[in-house]
Structure 1
């Protein structure tokens, strides 16, 4: 069987690209080496930056762990499985699966980067389980690639950062609302183009796919190793033994969890009535997932049992986020990120500056895959340079934003948002699907390069 080009590229990627954890370790060593060679920081100082940076993303990591564990617990109930299966049952063909996941993922991610991955991964997983002939590796790649426009959306870190009074307001020369960035002509046109082009690419790849590896091919079938979420109702419904003691009756008393859930729903209505869509953030999304889980689970003990089972699926987040915090600290505190930025700025002009900024931000993102950290590291030099060259400040801001997102298509850090849901109960690894994102990397790069150079704000 002769494989298509996309399949051969994905096979090559899977064969030679290391596991996401190894990738993070290699980047740590490279960051240390480059900092020693190209900055005035000594080895002990660099190790100190690393030591101080590892805890930098502890809070962020814990927020994601709770959010994803609570989301898995939420779907680990017969009622939620029936709802998800009903949604996915509308998809009948493999090509329709790839297209629908791409569109659902793009729309939900644009609304909220912390919402899109959960909804998209759950939707894709259900489709993978129920639609015959769907390659689960490719479907996982579609899910992840749909995240591309997330940080250009209404929850984007950098657009929200520059729209808020803060430390960079003076450097920026004022506040830039979302109308100047997220809802600009440049951003909206490129976002629509990216969704259309990437969906078409995945449709073509899926239509010509010859080597099909389904969800069930990847599922762990050993005794005692069933998937923790979105399995059949018979596999997931926990039946606890009632021993008849007072403590057992209290433990299995549903009103104990139901009342708390209802109180949470009451406050959420009040909260969003006051804050509107601006109230959506990682904390509120985690709260929603927990409260909804309280409402649909049988009793406190089934909830605890499910949470204990599903928390293990978030181990990759717990381990790798601190590692990237250390890398970010090395680049920022050693001044290495500043040197790279200044080098690019020194050779740019008004026309090429946005493109250069986009490219260098993409390179830095391989080491610092956090929009906030990267903007902090580069904005102090890029924004004044843009002003000096006569480049519109919103265009410079979007150049950093696009570069920060672009190389996520080959940088496995943000794949950790999808992996706990997509891979639980299977042998799927990040490198199994990241190779399918390589043509998307090229297409998105061209779209953003053209947009930054020629499209008006």
Structure 2
């Protein structure tokens, strides 16, 4: 007869049992990412129609107008997914990733190495972290048995979210550090040593980063419940037929010189950018895409190989390409109907000087479900929370920090930025969403306590 200890071992530890409740619910109620997006769009339409003065036809117009606001971003993320995935499956890159993946010798060690890599990568650039962390997890899963892959993807994605809370590339931190920003008359110019790296933010960030890493490492399923990675995306070697006749055209198609010339030009520009803007100042989304294209010129050293590899990765961009416009529609309806302002106004009425950071955080969490863009969200929320915070005598960097944490937290629940990570490793949303929700709840509780206690202590 099995003992209680044996039964508990078969069920996994307490971390796993808690996470499993979230994932079980996700398996039952979370549809594919596209359907999730459509449901959220319809919900936003109804909320704007019911709770604002907008008519049905107004909401239709807002849907259409917002639909195209994310076109440039959709293209950027689409090509980012394709060029990163293409680079990751180059034979030379696979060898490098395998060496990094081979540092850890146990499943828990793999989780720790991947999350440390994710935190470092997120400080460099959020898009780089979003795409490259699941790729590293995929290589680890290929090299080591016993890794629960959905939890690896969720934990890696969390490092990107947390990285934005103390990374210099976060939109709001970068915006308020420059002269002429739209809130300068309210808060002035706030350099990043007062916002990104103020004591309250640094302490809260390290608490969250350490706790999330420990929880992710300790969330270990029993052997019979491990879901391993079984795909072969990063192992797909491109097979090309040799041309029947080496004509001048075919010589150009197979020319290494052409690719190396393009690659060298890319390197020269990168050096110029680092020299004039600095390393971190150069790393915007366009630069990261350009850099990966440059690297691919050397990884696939002929035009034929390069294009064939891109075509092989193109299917990964489908979800990104079609869903981002719908999220644009959601943001458009939320903003143009005025429903976003109603949410923030309602929360702001209960704020005091002591509770304002917490109120800002919770309201930002709610609003981010519908406006998952930090730049777009601050346009809606900033004109309300910043004057209110100033009138209450709050320390304004704390209000901005609380806003950024709220803006990032519910990215674990609504999957806009998770879509590229899932696309790269070909994992359905419902396989990962429950673990993201599990981490969100832990982060939410810690952040609420931190924002209520720390501003009065540091």
Q: TM-score, normalization: structure 1?
A: 0.92
Counterparts of 1:319-330 in structure 2 under 5 Å?
319-330=322-333
1:228-255: CA deviations, max 9, x gaps? Answer: 4x21xxx414333122222112211111
1:343-389: CA deviations, max 9, x gaps? Answer: 11112111112111111110111111111111111101111111111
Counterparts of 1:348-359 in structure 2 under 5 Å?
348-359=351-362
Pair 1:366-2:369 in alignment: yes
Matched with 2:443 is 444
CA distance in 1, matches of 2:88, 2:158: 23
Matched with 1:74 is 87
Conserved in 1, the CA contact under 8 Å of 2:365 and 2:409?
yes
CA distance in 2, matches of 1:50, 1:301: 41
Matched with 1:266 is 268
Matched with 2:307 is 304
Matched with 1:180 is 194
CA distance in 2, matches of 1:167, 1:52: 25
CA distance in 2, matches of 1:439, 1:23: 18
Matched with 1:292 is 295
Matched with 2:66 is 53
Structure 1 range deviating more: 308-317 or 240-249: 240-249
Structure 1 range deviating more: 105-114 or 401-410: 105-114
Conserved in 2, the CA contact under 8 Å of 1:69 and 1:307?
yes
Matched with 2:244 is 243
CA distance in 2, matches of 1:392, 1:209: 50
SS in 2 for 1:354: helix
CA distance in 1, matches of 2:447, 2:222: 27
CA shift for structure 1 position 52: 0.7
CA distance in 1, matches of 2:183, 2:11: 56
CA shift for structure 1 position 107: 2.2
1:291-343: CA deviations, max 9, x gaps? Answer: 01001213101100111111210111111111111111111111111111111
CA distance in 2, matches of 1:38, 1:109: 38
1:117-162: CA deviations, max 9, x gaps? Answer: 2331221111011111111112111111222213221111111122
CA shift for structure 1 position 7: 2.4
SS in 1 for 2:193: helix
CA distance in 1, matches of 2:355, 2:21: 35
CA distance in 2, matches of 1:91, 1:238: 32
SS in 1 for 2:168: coil
Pair 1:13-2:26 in alignment: yes
CA distance in 1, matches of 2:360, 2:26: 27
Conserved in 1, the CA contact under 8 Å of 2:176 and 2:184?
no
CA distance in 1, matches of 2:224, 2:379: 45
Conserved in 2, the CA contact under 8 Å of 1:73 and 1:306?
yes
Distance 1:452 1:370, change over 3 A: same
SS in 1 for 2:289: helix
Alignment gaps of 5+ in structure 2: 1-9
Conserved in 2, the CA contact under 8 Å of 1:102 and 1:142?
yes
Conserved in 2, the CA contact under 8 Å of 1:91 and 1:131?
no
Conserved in 1, the CA contact under 8 Å of 2:111 and 2:152?
yes
Counterparts of 1:114-193 in structure 2 under 5 Å?
114-152=127-165, 153-193=167-207
Conserved in 2, the CA contact under 8 Å of 1:70 and 1:307?
yes
Conserved in 1, the CA contact under 8 Å of 2:44 and 2:334?
yes
Conserved in 1, the CA contact under 8 Å of 2:133 and 2:156?
yes
1:416-449: CA deviations, max 9, x gaps? Answer: 13122222xxxx2121012112332122112222
Alignment gaps of 5+ in structure 1: 220-226
CA shift for structure 1 position 454: 2.1
Distance 1:207 1:25, change over 3 A: closer
Pair 1:393-2:396 in alignment: yes
Q: TM-score, normalization: structure 2?
A: 0.92
CA shift for structure 1 position 261: 0.6
CA distance in 1, matches of 2:135, 2:168: 22
Counterparts of 1:185-204 in structure 2 under 5 Å?
185-204=199-218
Matched with 1:223 is none
1:185-229: CA deviations, max 9, x gaps? Answer: 11111111111101111111126565111112xx3xxxxxxx44x
CA distance in 2, matches of 1:291, 1:353: 46
CA distance in 1, matches of 2:223, 2:168: 35
CA distance in 2, matches of 1:439, 1:171: 40
CA distance in 1, matches of 2:297, 2:310: 11
